[in-house]
């Protein structure tokens, strides 16, 4: 059985898993997000680029995910200490 994207915390893997779940190609996702080529989607999925903050809501909508949940994953991946202050520690994390 395949792992659910909701158990994933890395935004790049979430995007790749959810895109696959929805049977979208990288080209289709790029087009839906207004990117002229698949290069940026490929770079996101391979961890070479981050999901742009300004596109978090669009990515969540196209990939049919809860935008608040996805935004939290993006924030935690980039700024974990700041996310802990705003959102509290991730479930299972030990407070310092």
Tell me the CATH number for domain 5-82: 1.10.260.40
pLDDT at 21: 96
DSSP label at residue 89? S
Residue 24: alpha-carbon gap to chain centroid: 15
- What is the mean predicted confidence (pLDDT) over 13-23? 97
Give per-residue pLDDT as tens, 33-90: 999 999 999 999 999 999 999 999 999 999 999 999 999 999 999 999 988 898 898 7
Instruction: Report domain extents, the chain.
Output: 5-82
E-strand stretches of the chain: none
Global pTM value: 0.86
């Amino acid at each position: 059985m395949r792992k659910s994207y909701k158990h994933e915390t890395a935004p790049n893997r979430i995007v790749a898993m959810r895109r696959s779940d929805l049977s979208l190609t990288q080209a289709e996702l790029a087009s839906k997000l207004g990117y002229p080529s698949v290069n940026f989607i490929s770079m996101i999925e391979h961890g070479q680029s981050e999901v742009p903050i300004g596109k978090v809501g669009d990515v969540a909508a196209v990939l049919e995910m809860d935008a608040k949940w996805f935004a939290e994953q993006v924030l935690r991946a980039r700024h974990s200490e700041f996310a802990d202050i705003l959102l509290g520690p991730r479930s299972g994390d030990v407070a310092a």
